[in-house]
Amino acid sequence: MTTSPIETAALPRPEKSPWQIKNPKQTRALILASVAPAIVVLAITFGFQIDGTIAMLTMFLPLQVLSAGAVGFRIYGKKGIADAGLVIFTIFFSSLVGVLLMSVLYSVITEGFKALSPQFISQNNVYITPTTSLEYGGVGHAVLGTFIIVGITTAVTVPLGIALAVYLTETTSKTKGAVRTLVQAMSGLPSVVAGLFVYAALITSGFSKYAGWLGSLALIPLMLPTVTRVAEEALRLVPVELRNGALALGAPAYRSFLSVTLPAAKSGIITAVLLGIARIIGETAPLLLTVNYANSTVLNPLESMAALPTYIYQNLDSANDTSLQRAWGAALVILIFVAIIFSAARMATRSASVKKKPKKVAKND
Amino acid sequence: MSVASDDLTKPVPPKRRLALKPHLIQDKIFYGIARSAAVGAVLIVALILGYLLFMSWDTLAQQGPAFVFGSQWSAADPENLVFQIGPMLWGSLLIAVNGMLLAVPMAIAAAYFIEFLANSKIAKIATMVVDLLAAIPSIVIGLWGVGVFTPVAAHWAKLLNENLGFIPFFNNTSGSFVNSPFIAGWVVAVMIVPIITSVTREIFSQLDRDVINAATALGASRSSTFMKVILPTSSGGIVGGALLGLGRALGETVAIFFVLNLSFEINWVEVVESRGGSIASMIVSFFGAASPEEVKALIAAGLVLFVITLLINWLAAVIVAKAQPWRK
């Protein structure tokens, strides 16, 4: 009863797997269904001068759903109709999201580049009125101010956040759940309320005038939840066997953490810091309430300083074409910073995952 | 037997102490730092909440429940201060709901597209762009709202009013379509769509592919897989993500400040009318010229906003924890 190898070889091997075979008729119908409604509606819209939005919603969408439903019914029978509806729904809303988000990116980049120039990056805002031409003045003071304010916040929040993550992962305390809930509650603090808190507690009470360090103070509760959550996630990903191994070899807990757990979670911790910075770099309301704005280059955090978000606010508020242009330029600068932070975070996680792979192979052996 | 009896005669060794608590001084310092960080975090939250309560007590006691429901704000007469945030609170909620109605379907569709329809290259790029956009500062979205989006959205609002004006939502008597809750809702939606999409996509990607393949093998179509398998298993996570976005929408300040006309005349549902309210924007626009009493009233308004976002966040945490019990 054994089949001889010759007989098996004689069987013709199908060129394609059954699920790869496509009926050319079906392909044609699909293409027709996705192109025809667009052409018809475009023709009607231009022919009768109908408003584009109305044509889109009242003619194109129903027509597209109908044609896709018809083709779906032809190919798959009854269940094809619902599928067509789902696909059209998904593609319509996804493209809406895509158009809106791309519009944001595109306008920031194109409008921003019009304002961008070497002196826009380096100069400050002294003697600049809303109508001064773009050849003078820039965001240099605001970039430095943002660096200082965000730098102070980072210097305070990162150690605190990592220590908090250590508390949540490395200790066996019973209050862990409550502390985690509280930190998550902090992430619900509206940024303007954080600013108002510092404003009322330290400025209206006469303790201090508007100052950069107050802005840093207001940003701490906004950055802390992000840093803590991501760092906790990173520490949790370190296998418990690693820690136990270190402890079993006689290492005290702090050595086990500093020389085993922390290096293993390094990339995650870096990501936590970067995401935290990205979270607060564009916060405007707290800075408005606590730092206000300065036009000259101020490097002393005990004084009122400039920052990129407040610079945008200031220029947007004066509602003039040139100042609007400056606001776009500053928005582009922020966007570039956020993009740099993000690619740094991606690089941190990628290099970590490359390192992890050989380890896994060794374990399997 | 003799061996056993030998064993019995041996004295019982003293019980060894299990080192459950750190005894090294360095370990004590290590855990001490962690514990003090926890205490610090608790203190920060307690300090903020306590101070807000302390400062807003006068206003809340003086104005009573009318503080939340009334619609008058006058600090001109120091003898008769009236601080009521009804229109602002309602406006905040109206804008947030408006934004959610727009953002949630868009976000679910985009996440479904990235995770199940697009090929892997497009999906990778789209994921990256969405994650990047989730970190765009809100003032940049506000700038886009003022400079680019307002004319477009005003046009849409006008079309809605002309064609569907008989529905109370799209009623407009002033003839001005800019600075309306409708536009603010769109701006907020654009702000939170990347956040909700990113959470939803993450949850879709964690779904068990075997279950989806099993559904397909049993003859389920794309739509029935979506309705009966994907949505039920991930609904908790999606709700959590959406509530996270809602929290952000309620606390949004400057983006709304520039695209909304703040008005203390309550605007119930007429979203395309050119007046609305927002607690956060109100705080930013009033604090500069505020008297000490008014600052206290603003703090009370901020406290109300904080309590609402706290409730929403707490709800989100509960729902997500219930939906994903494996993430303790």
Q: Of B37, B52, B163, which has the smallest distance from its Cβ to A164's Cβ?
A: B37
Q: Could you tell me if B146 lies within 8 Å of chain A, comparing CB atoms? A: yes
Taking all residues of chain A, what is their mean pLDDT, rounded to a whole number?
Answer: 85
Cα–Cα dist B39/B22, whole Å: 19
A350 Cβ contact list (under 8 Å, min separation 6) = none
ipTM exceeds 0.90: no
Judged by DSSP in three states, B33 sits in helix
Which of B212, B175, B14, B145 shows the shortest CA–CA distance to A107? B145
Cα–Cα dist A319/B158, whole Å: 24
Q: Could you tell me if B283 lies within 8 Å of chain A, comparing CB atoms? A: yes
By the 10 Å C-beta count (0-12 exposed, 13-18 middle, 19+ buried), B178 is classed as middle
CA A324 to chain centre: 25
Are the beta carbons of B45 and A182 separated by less than 8 Å? yes
For the ranges A48-52, A345-349, B97-101, B225-229, the lowest mean pLDDT is seen at A48-52
Q: How is chain A split into domains, by residue range? A: 21-115, 140-356
Sequential DSSP letters for A261-276: IHHHTHHHHHHHHHHH
- pLDDT recorded at residue A182: 87
Each residue of A4-31: pLDDT tens digit?
555 555 677 777 776 667 777 777 877 8
For the ranges A159-168, A296-305, B162-171, the lowest mean pLDDT is seen at B162-171
Per-residue pLDDT, averaged over A134-153, amounts to 91
Residues of A with CB below 8 A from B253's CB?
A: 190-192, 284-285
Q: Of A94, A171, A184, which has the smallest distance from its Cβ to B34's Cβ?
A: A171
Are the beta carbons of B144 and A173 separated by less than 8 Å? no
Are the beta carbons of B42 and A182 separated by less than 8 Å? yes
Residue B195, both tokens? 């956040």
Distance from CA of A363 to the nearest CA of B (A): 25
CA distance from start to end of chain B = 52
**Core vs surface per residue A141-172: b (16+ CB within 10 A) or e:** bbbbbbebbbebbbebbbebbbbbbbbbbbbe
- Sorted by where each starts, the structural domains of chain B and their CATH numbers stand as 87-323 (1.10.3720.10)
Are the beta carbons of A342 and B295 separated by less than 8 Å? no
Measured CA to CA in angstroms, residue A153 lies from A46, A279, B292 at distances of 56, 12, 28
How many residues does the structure list for chain A?
Answer: 365
pLDDT band, residue B75 (cuts 50/70/90): confident
To the question of domain A140-356 being in CATH 1.10.390.10, the answer is no
Distance from CA of B2 to the nearest CA of A (A): 37
CB half-sphere exposure, B221, CA atoms < 13 A: 17
Run of H or E including B82 = strand B82-83
Residue B206, both tokens? 């964690």
Cα–Cα dist B184/A156, whole Å: 35
Pick from A94, A204, A292 the residue to mutate for testing the B interface (most B CBs within 10 Å): A94
Measured CA to CA in angstroms, residue A27 lies from A34, A87, A89, A257 at distances of 11, 16, 21, 59
Per-residue pLDDT, averaged over A168-185, amounts to 86
Cα–Cα dist A282/A7, whole Å: 72
Cα–Cα dist B89/B264, whole Å: 10
Are the beta carbons of A173 and B35 separated by less than 8 Å? yes
Residue B1 reports pLDDT greater than 60: no
Residues of A with CB below 8 A from B247's CB?
A: 188
Are the beta carbons of A253 and B30 separated by less than 8 Å? yes
A125 Cβ contact list (under 8 Å, min separation 6) = A137, A138, A139, A141, A142, A295, A296, A306, A311
Closest-CA residue in chain A for B23? A252
